[in-house]
Amino acid sequence: MKHILKTCLLGSAFALSLGIAQAQDLTPLNSDAEPDRMDWSELEARFGPMPETPAGTKVGGVSKTLTNEYWRSLGEGYANVAKAEGLEFVYQAAQSEGDQLGQLSIAENLITQGFAVLLFSPQTDANLIPAVEKAEAAGVPILNVNDAVIPSAKNYVGNVQKGNGVNVAQWFIDNRPDGGKVAVIEGQPGVYAAGQRTAGFTETITAAGNFEVVASVPADWSRELAFNAAATILQQHPDLIGFYANNDGMALGVVEAVKAAGKAEQVAVFGTDGISDAYAAIRAGDLTGTVDSFPVLTGEVALEVALRLLAGQDLPRVVATPQALVTADNVETFATSDMAALRAALLAQ
C-alpha cells in the first residue's frame, strides 16, 4: 500500500480527468438516470485491484449530520478504507440536517487544508455549490456521495434513489392485492433523494390501479414532524393501509402515530436507510420494513472510487451502490456487520 508517487502527482492526474470532463460540457447530474454509470460490484473486474496510494495522503468527508446514524455509518465506511490504505482521514458534519450554512462553512474550511480529495454529502442539491466552485478553483477534487445531488458533480457514488420508493410500492402491490389508501412522508424539500424516493413510490403504486395516494407531505427528516403528520393523516383517512417514509427516523415517528391510533394491525409502515433502530423495530414487529442502502458499504465504495480517480482511472460518472428491501423475512440476512458476508449476500440477490 505504500507507494513512491507523491500525492500531488495523484492530484494532478485527477485534475487532468476533471479538465477532460469539463471540456465535455457535462450535463446537470441526475444520478438515477445518468447513462455513464456502472455497478459497485464491477469495480475490480473492470479496473483491476485497488491502486496503491501514498501513506499519509489526506482525505476528508463532509456529511449532513452525525445525529443521524446513517451518516455516522457512512463515515465508518470511509474510515475502514482509510485505515486499510494508511491514509489520514477527517470526517465532519453540520449540527443538524437543516444546518445548510453550517455545512457549507465546514466544507469551505476543509478546502484550504491540503486534502487530496474531499467527499461531499450535501444537505440539499444546492447548498454546497459554492464550496464545489472554490474547490475546483483550488484544484481540490470533489466526489459527491449520497444522497443529495450536486448538478455540476463530475463523479457520484450512491444508490438509485427512485428504486427505494419502487421497492416499497412493489411490496404493497404484492402483499395488499386488494389495494387501498396509502400516504407518503417526504424528506426535506429541495433534496434530490427525497423527490426521487417519493416519485418512485407514487408512480409505481398509482400505476397498479387499485391504490390511492391520499397524502404526501414533507417532514424534513424529523421524527417529531413525521409523527404529527402521520397522526393528522390517520385522522383524515381512518381506513389507510400504509405509509412510506423517505427515511427511517421519520418512519419510526410514523410507527408511534400508528400505534397511538390503535391501527398497528391495519397500517404497514416502511422507511428508508436501514439504521439499527429500524432493524430493531422490524424484529419487534413495529416497522414493516426498510429499504437498506448499506451506508458502511457505500462509504467503502465511495472512498475506493475516490482513490481510483486519484490514481488516474477513468471511471464512469456514476457508481451505483446497492439497496435491498428488508422485512421480517430477511432481516437477519442483512443485519450482519461482517462486510464480506454482506457483500456476498448482496451479490447473490
Alpha carbon distances (Å) from 278 to 133, 266, 285: 37, 19, 10
- Residue 239: CB atoms within 10 Å: 11
Closest CA to 306 of 93, 7, 4, 29: 7
Residue 335, pLDDT score: 94
Q: What is the CATH number of domain 7-156+296-320?
A: 3.40.50.2300
Residue 9, pLDDT score: 30
Alpha carbon distances (Å) from 154 to 86, 182, 312: 26, 37, 14
What are the residue boundaries of the structural domains of the chain, listed by start? 7-156+296-320, 161-292
Q: What is the mean pLDDT of the chain?
A: 92
Q: Are 190 and 255 in contact (CB under 8 A)?
A: no
Residue 26, pLDDT score: 82
Q: Are 201 and 169 in contact (CB under 8 A)?
A: yes
- Whole-angstrom distance, CA of residue 214 vs CA of residue 78: 40
Q: Are domains 7-156+296-320 and 161-292 of this chain identical in fold?
A: yes
Query: Could you read off the pLDDT of 90-103 as tens digits, one per residue?
Result: 999 999 999 999 99
pLDDT interval class at 56 (50, 70, 90): confident
The sheet carrying 88-94 orders its strands as 37-39, 318-320, 156-158, 142-145, 117-120, 58-65, 88-94
Alpha carbon distances (Å) from 52 to 160, 312, 342: 29, 12, 25
Percentage of residues in the chain having pLDDT higher than 70: 93
Helix (H) or strand (E) holding 340: helix 339-347
Q: What is the CATH number of domain 161-292?
A: 3.40.50.2300
Beta-strand pair 289-292/324-327: antiparallel
pLDDT interval class at 150 (50, 70, 90): very high
- Residue 112: CB atoms within 10 Å: 11
Percentage of residues in the chain having pLDDT higher than 90: 90
What's the mean pLDDT in 170-192?
97
